[in-house]
Amino acid sequence: LQCLNERREGSGALVFRAWEQRGDRAQFVESDDDEELLFNVPFTGNVKLKGVMVMGEDDGTHPAEMRLFKNIPHMSFDDTAREAEQTFSLNRDLTGELEYPTKIARFSNVHHLSIHFPRNFGAETTKIFYIGLKGEWTEAHRHEVTICSYEASPNPADHRSEPIAPQTPFIS
């Protein structure tokens, strides 16, 4: 997992944790230079993403908007100019129980998820305590390399057949 514009290195990975541990306010991620945060989440299989939960503080540091992108590995802030798969206007959530449902048809085959938080409720930095992802995981189907040989023109030596007994028009 990669988080861009985080103040402490590695703190972005700490907000993705089990549902039972969402109330732990000791672990959080805070943006560094401005209010933008970008998470790149690779999956080990294919995911059908059904919902996202975001928990923040009850002040201006809580994110106000969330944009989701799928299957763009190593996404950077330059890539956020493109149109998102889905955009959410967020409400302040102190308990991490408010779920934002995704359009399942768009997020049915996700192997990489990028979550962009472009703005917050007015503070200089954005602070997030918990991000929860709800969905179904399936094993990825990996296609192995197959070696095939094709004939541009047939080689008669490869296609031998039994000799056919000659037929005559005469009846004996």
Where residue 17 sits, what CATH number does that domain have?
A: 2.60.120.470
Task: Say if 159 falls within a structural domain.
Answer: no
Torsion angle, alpha carbons of 104, 110, 114, 117, to 10: 10
Judge whether 45 lies within some domain.
yes
Answer whether residue 14 is part of any domain.
yes
pLDDT of the residue at 157:
73
pTM reported for the whole predicted model:
0.80
Q: What is the pLDDT of residue 159?
A: 67
- Find the domain containing 35 and state its range: 2-139
Residue 92: inside a domain, yes or no? yes
Full pLDDT tens readout for the chain, 172 residues: 999 999 999 999 999 999 899 989 999 999 998 999 999 999 999 999 999 999 999 999 999 999 999 999 999 999 999 999 999 999 999 988 899 999 999 999 999 999 999 999 999 999 999 999 999 999 877 666 666 666 667 677 776 667 666 666 666 5
Note whether residue 131 is domain-resident: yes
Task: Specify if 172 maps to a domain.
Answer: no
Give the span between the Cα atoms of 107 and 104, in whole angstroms: 5
Residue with tokens 């100019």: 81
pLDDT at 20: 92
Number of domains in the chain: 1
In a domain? residue 81: yes
* pLDDT given for residue 69 in this prediction: 97
Distance CA 30, CA 102 (A): 25
Contact between 126 and 31 (Cβ < 8 Å): yes
> Does 86 map to a domain?
yes
